[in-house]
Chain A
Amino acid sequence: MAGRHPNHYWKSLQERGAWVKSPAEGEEKFSELLEFAPGQFARRDFLKAAGFTFLSAVLNGCQRAPVEKAIPYLVKPEEIIPGHAYFYASTCRGCSAGCGLLVKDRDGRPIKLEGNPEHPLSKGGLCAVGQASILGLYDSRRMLHPLRDGKESAWDEVDRNITGKLEEIRKNGGAVRFLSDSIASPTTLANLNAFLGGFPNARHIVYDPLSCSAIPDAYEHTHGMRLLPRFRFDRAEVVVSLDADFLGTWISPVEYTAGYQTARKLEANPPRFSYHVQLESRMSITGSKADERIRIAPQELGLVVTQLAALLASHAPIPFPIDGIQPPAVPRQALEKVAQRLWEAKGRSLVVCGSQDVSTQVLCNFINHLLESYGATIDLKFPSHQRQGNDRELQSLLEELREGKIAALFISGVNPVYDLPEGDQLAPLLRRVPLVVSLDGKPNETIELAHYVCPNHHYLESWGDQEPVSGVVSLLQPCMRPLGNTRALLESLAAWMGTPKPAYDILRENWQAKVFPRQTKESSFQVFWDHAVHDGFVELDKTPAISAQSFATSSIHPILSAPALEKGEFALVLYPKVGILDGRHAENPWLQELPDPITKVTWDNYACLSPATAAEMRVSEGDLVRLAAGDDPKALELPVVIQPGQHDQVVAVALGYGGKTTERFAGMGPRWLQGKSTVGETGRVGVSAAPWLQLADGGLQYWRAPVKLQSTGKHLALASTQTHHRIEIPQHLATPGTERRPVIQETPLQAYLDDVRSGKQWEEKQHQDLWPQDHSYTGHRWAMVIDLNACTGCSACVIACQAENNVPVVGKDEVRRRRIMHWIRMDRYYAGDDAEVAVAHQPMLCQHCENAPCETVCPVLATVHDAEGLNQQIYNRCVGTRYCSNNCPYKVRRFNWFDYPHEDRLENLAFNPDVTVRSRGVMEKCSFCVQRIQEAKIEAKRKGEPLRDGDLQTACQQSCPAGAIVFGDKNDGNSRVSQLLRSSRRYHVLEEINVRPSIGYLKLVRHRSEGQEGERRG
């Protein structure tokens, strides 16, 4: 089956089933029948009422336009021009990776976040979570005042009480603990250490809800130092990842994506194309990009790593006895091939492991040592500070809490009652602590238990710094005045130390004392500081921060056996989703509505099962299954999602759901007669899987076995967009020759390299055309190229577009009705059979066709073509016939079925003032960021300069961490887009229907050659 149609991509299992069976049998229905409740109003009464209302509305309209006031500044800041956007460099605190940021300010407040293109780590990319984090600033449920026992208080009262209690504790020698997430800020760490130093028994305990603490623990064994290295994917020609989702959620995905793409530049001279092997249990976006993907069960990871280490050791050759090793389920031949590839690329290869088992990580270190990666693709001299969690210290803290030994507990940046496996048991323990102070501003499970809440500013309101990797120190600067009466963490600590000082002063002093001396470029601190604030970061002189010992082989313990799973038993894998991560932004509606890049489900978490397992259990998508483990009384009930490519013994459940902060989504979306609530019966979005984590073996473990699954017979409708807006024709409507449309095209690497060598370029195919080609584009001709090879499916573009263009959130029920509003969507296709699938991601947006089918059918000409190649959508002219969307073959047009609620005036501050907020009854779609095009053109005219390539970027292009989207002027032969359009890899989606889209896609390049289909590993 797979061999016959290698390039036949399918989106869902029903789709695949449809063209395998005969048309009569496996007919795919357009959608499941949506319920229509009998209306309470009879139609005629409704029309009568409408008629009278209409008349009175018209009467009211016959008036002068309402009076509008124009209110200028009293004293305008000299450098501000109203209507201009000003960009300030800062650092993203959406997660702990610390990507560089450029914050777009309008009218004194941030409205959009962009990556800082000069930042050495993120290189201008910004992930979906980073883009969405601006909503956290305008969150009306944020805590804006200090609280005392849940009631609003004032800072001096709170400070007085806290310092009083701390004084007592200091006298009695009580234990003070500061529990936080990874703090990579040198200034905060310095001040925190000073604060804690004032107590005889004080400690700072760090944990990451998405912990990789086994890695530093392993380095402590092998190199004598506890550190997290910096992984240099840009220097690796062969990458082997053992269950590490480094392009999606592991440690620093934007940085790793940028590095990974550097090693895969097909347009470089000479072309570079790394080889990536992924061994994992569930389908992740990293696995979807791998050239070779091997399914393993989580309990076998240790065995596989041992086997791989033994193979590499035999290449070396050095002795590595593994007698009595249980043969892993992965065929030896596959591992031998991987080992061979790695060995051939010694010194240019990288093996990363996402396991939380220290022995496995030690073996991974050993493999990298054999491959001479240290100093080449793994940087130990300038390590990363992006994840500093120490799960062993967390365990001892929990122990101390159980014994009631803590006198004061400060909590910042973490939600342990939610995050940790025994979180519900933590609540009574915290109540016993005499002083609990929370330094967070978001109402969550942990804050409720705090005696004092001293909310920190949002990071966009803060002065601060961040050192994500040693030697790169970036700054945070406030991009607006704090919205409420919050106070910076630095200031709170200073106040409690008895030396209150503004955060800016504390930061500057620390930089003058500690950061400025680490560089030699500038001799004046003021100049250095000004440059740092302008650029957003400084790169310090390259004196190594760390000098680790050489490798200690005594620490290696091969893993020779793995627990076996019996039939009917499963391994539960808990993983973070790309949009939700550990749930710290679960209150963000943009992220909740972002379709997961692999499963395409919104607003829910679920249990992923492989197709074989689902067939065996006789469950289909949406059926509820109950997870239970041994004697554990708790059970987890979740809807099933069938995941091709997942290991048959694995059930995968996402973390981050079911938190208290999601209760706000009860009224999400338009409220109408047949609308259903976004939240489930629990009143929350999804179900929390955190209780199923385990804090064992010195680390937070993200898998457990055995668990048992049981079908409950109940069903939950999931809001999955995977079959929505399909470009394929349903089988029963297809004419001969159109059954399969080559939406995703690929080419073998060798064929592409041959094309490059022979200088072959893209050739325009001539089609029969009814329309005369008499539109001459004499000025600009906007076009876009999307490199399918570079795209990882991370969906940063989706959120960037939503932020830039005021795209509304519709809620779970509307998503189920195929009414999601994203202007750019990430289509995910599979190829192959159920077990071994190849995955392709394709960003799909308005193609701005020259022969646009939508333009010819609009009865009011609300969508017409402009002189620069854009397909325009004029909202004020649109009457809502929806004929254009009907005619669009790409199904990229979005209709506003409702006036989506925008009553939260604080949240409305995040709107882009340059883009209309569409009302009900109006069609919208990607406009190629026409507001940015107009701004760039007018500014260029004002300055009297020509518009240069690169001056203008669409929102999706600007945010993409992989640089997969390139936009520019096709009429400029030297522009990047023109160069890419000449590539032999270029093709257009649905080229054959001759709509002449302005967006060219670059074919996926696969390492294998034609005819190697049957060799897909089992």
Chain B
Amino acid sequence: MNSLVLTVVLGVGLTFAVVFFGWSVSPRLPGNQQGYEPVQPIAYSHRLHAQELQIGCLYCHFGSEKSRHAGIPPANVCMNCHRFVIASLGAIRAEHEQADQQKRQPQTVVSPELRKLYEAMGLNQDRQPEPGRPSNPVAWVQVHKLPDFVYFDHRAHVNAGVECQRCHGPVETMERVRQVEDLSMGWCVNCHREVNQTGVAGKPVEASIDCDTCHF
């Protein structure tokens, strides 16, 4: 009886060891999401909007200056432009050329990604609001997710002058948002320690390394 139990225990332990080390060549700690680049419900491109079109981070992510949560912009912010901008210039030009060739009126081109946005907003085929039509807020996949016991506050960092790219990497170059840093506590505390000596953007800062700055 005893040897059976021992065998089972050792067997399970061995399996566990194999699984753990075989998982990846460089095992990472659970919860480390560095490199996470999930598919989003709408293929929003930061490269297009932030780099090519030069829209500032705070235009959409206004919460980062005023609140703990930077937030993903509500759909009405997108609609500020996308009421009028319904497809890329290239696609519209292509349609016009085809229409010329085929001697017909050019049809309205709507980008398939934007169609997802309009459906979420509850707009009809002609992109007009229709009362009674169901709407569904866009369920973005959160990329930079800290554990629930961390109360990170964007306000303190943005108002101190920390630029977004310092923690989020070169987001303006990304077609799909990717987590660049590992966002571990050690990484946060190191930066806090550094900037207490060096300051941020030339200004001295008080970046507390007390535990209850983030854990309460």
Where the two chains meet, the residues of A that have a C-beta atom closer than 8 Å to any C-beta of B are 48, 51-52, 55, 58-59, 61-65, 67-76, 81-84, 779, 864, 866-868, 870, 872, 874-877, 914-916, 927, 930-931, 934, 938-939, 941-942
* Residue in A59, A82, A866, A931 whose beta carbon sits within 8 Å of that of B71 in the complex: A82
Size of B's binding interface in residues, CB under 8 A = 55
* Residue in A63, A67, A71 whose beta carbon sits within 8 Å of that of B30 in the complex: A63
A942 and B140 in contact, given A84-B66, A916-B149 (Cβ under 8 angstroms): no
Contact in complex: B72, A70 (CB < 8 Å): yes
Q: Does B51 contact A (CB under 8 A)?
A: no
Please tell me which stretch of B91-99, B102-110, B205-213 contacts chain A, meaning at least 4 of its Cβ atoms lie within 8 angstroms of it.
B205-213
What 8 A-B pairs come out closest when comparing CB atoms?
A83-B67, A866-B210, A73-B74, A76-B74, A876-B149, A872-B212, A70-B142, A83-B69
Residue of A nearest to B79 (CB): A75
Complex Cα gap A51–B208 (Å): 41
Contact in complex: B74, A938 (CB < 8 Å): no
A866 and B212 in contact, given A65-B33, A75-B74, A83-B69 (Cβ under 8 angstroms): yes
* Residue in A52, A58, A867, A875 whose beta carbon sits within 8 Å of that of B149 in the complex: A875
Q: Does B153 contact A (CB under 8 A)?
A: yes
Q: Does B215 contact A (CB under 8 A)?
A: yes
A81 and B67 in contact, given A71-B140, A941-B159 (Cβ under 8 angstroms): yes
Closest Cβ of chain B: how far from A42's Cβ, in Å? 15
A779 and B210 in contact, given A875-B149, A934-B153 (Cβ under 8 angstroms): no
Which B residues are in CB contact (< 8 Å) with A83?
63, 67-69, 71
Contact in complex: B73, A72 (CB < 8 Å): yes
Complex Cα gap A779–B156 (Å): 17
Q: Does B138 contact A (CB under 8 A)?
A: yes
Closest Cβ of chain B: how far from A59's Cβ, in Å? 6
Contact in complex: B141, A69 (CB < 8 Å): yes
Closest Cβ of chain B: how far from A502's Cβ, in Å? 20
Contact in complex: A72, B149 (CB < 8 Å): no
Q: Does B31 contact A (CB under 8 A)?
A: yes
Complex Cα gap A976–B62 (Å): 36
Q: List 14 A-B contacts (CB under 8 A).
A: A48-B5, A61-B30, A65-B33, A71-B138, A71-B140, A72-B71, A72-B72, A72-B140, A75-B74, A76-B76, A867-B210, A872-B216, A916-B216, A941-B155
Q: Does B187 contact A (CB under 8 A)?
A: no
Complex Cα gap A72–B41 (Å): 13
Complex Cα gap A872–B213 (Å): 10
Which B residues are in CB contact (< 8 Å) with A875?
149, 215
Contact in complex: A73, B63 (CB < 8 Å): no
Contact in complex: A941, B215 (CB < 8 Å): no
Complex Cα gap A931–B147 (Å): 17
Contact in complex: B216, A927 (CB < 8 Å): yes
Which B residues are in CB contact (< 8 Å) with A934?
151, 153, 212-213, 216
A74 and B66 in contact, given A59-B19, A916-B149 (Cβ under 8 angstroms): no
Most-contacted residue by chain A among B20, B155, B210 (CB, 10 A): B210
Q: Does B137 contact A (CB under 8 A)?
A: yes
Which A residues are in CB contact (< 8 Å) with B114?
none
Closest Cβ of chain B: how far from A872's Cβ, in Å? 4
Complex Cα gap A872–B212 (Å): 6
Contact in complex: B155, A938 (CB < 8 Å): yes
Residue of B nearest to A69 (CB): B139
Q: Does B135 contact A (CB under 8 A)?
A: yes
Contact in complex: A868, B69 (CB < 8 Å): no
Residue of A nearest to B62 (CB): A81
Complex Cα gap A602–B147 (Å): 36
* Residue in A59, A927, A939, A941 whose beta carbon sits within 8 Å of that of B16 in the complex: A59
Complex Cα gap A284–B71 (Å): 51
Question: Which B residues from 149 to 168 make CB contacts under 8 A with A?
Answer: 149, 151, 153, 155-156, 159-160
Contact in complex: A62, B74 (CB < 8 Å): no
Complex Cα gap A55–B135 (Å): 45
Q: A63-B30, A84-B67 are in contact. List 8 more A-B contacts (CB 8 A).
A: A62-B19, A62-B30, A71-B140, A74-B137, A76-B74, A875-B215, A876-B149, A877-B211
Contact in complex: B145, A68 (CB < 8 Å): yes
Contact in complex: A73, B137 (CB < 8 Å): yes
Contact in complex: B156, A941 (CB < 8 Å): yes
Residue of B nearest to A55 (CB): B12
Contact in complex: B142, A874 (CB < 8 Å): no
Residue of A nearest to B159 (CB): A942
Q: Does B52 contact A (CB under 8 A)?
A: no
Which B residues are in CB contact (< 8 Å) with A69?
139-142
Contact in complex: B145, A65 (CB < 8 Å): yes
Question: Which B residues from 161 to 186 make CB contacts under 8 A with A?
Answer: none
* Residue in B16, B71, B73 whose beta carbon sits within 8 Å of that of A58 in the complex: B16
Closest Cβ of chain A: how far from B106's Cβ, in Å? 31
A65 and B31 in contact, given A74-B74, A74-B135, A83-B63 (Cβ under 8 angstroms): yes
Closest Cβ of chain B: how far from A515's Cβ, in Å? 36
Contact in complex: A68, B142 (CB < 8 Å): yes
A71 and B156 in contact, given A866-B210, A875-B149 (Cβ under 8 angstroms): no
Residue of B nearest to A931 (CB): B216
Q: Does B121 contact A (CB under 8 A)?
A: yes
Q: Does B38 contact A (CB under 8 A)?
A: yes
A872 and B210 in contact, given A69-B141, A73-B137 (Cβ under 8 angstroms): yes
Residue of A nearest to B68 (CB): A83
Closest Cβ of chain A: how far from B100's Cβ, in Å? 38
Complex Cα gap A83–B65 (Å): 12
Contact in complex: B159, A71 (CB < 8 Å): no
A72 and B138 in contact, given A83-B69, A84-B66 (Cβ under 8 angstroms): yes
Which B residues are in CB contact (< 8 Å) with A779?
206
Contact in complex: B208, A867 (CB < 8 Å): yes
Complex Cα gap A63–B29 (Å): 10
Which A residues are in CB contact (< 8 Å) with B67?
81-84
Complex Cα gap A613–B16 (Å): 69
Closest Cβ of chain B: how far from A939's Cβ, in Å? 8
Residue of A nearest to B158 (CB): A942
Which B residues are in CB contact (< 8 Å) with A73?
74-76, 137
Contact in complex: B211, A938 (CB < 8 Å): no
Q: Does B120 contact A (CB under 8 A)?
A: yes
Complex Cα gap A268–B135 (Å): 61
Closest Cβ of chain B: how far from A913's Cβ, in Å? 10
Residue of A nearest to B15 (CB): A59
Which A residues are in CB contact (< 8 Å) with B59?
none
Which B residues are in CB contact (< 8 Å) with A52?
12
Complex Cα gap A887–B73 (Å): 49
Contact in complex: B153, A938 (CB < 8 Å): yes
Q: Does B126 contact A (CB under 8 A)?
A: no
Complex Cα gap A65–B31 (Å): 5
Residue of B nearest to A73 (CB): B74
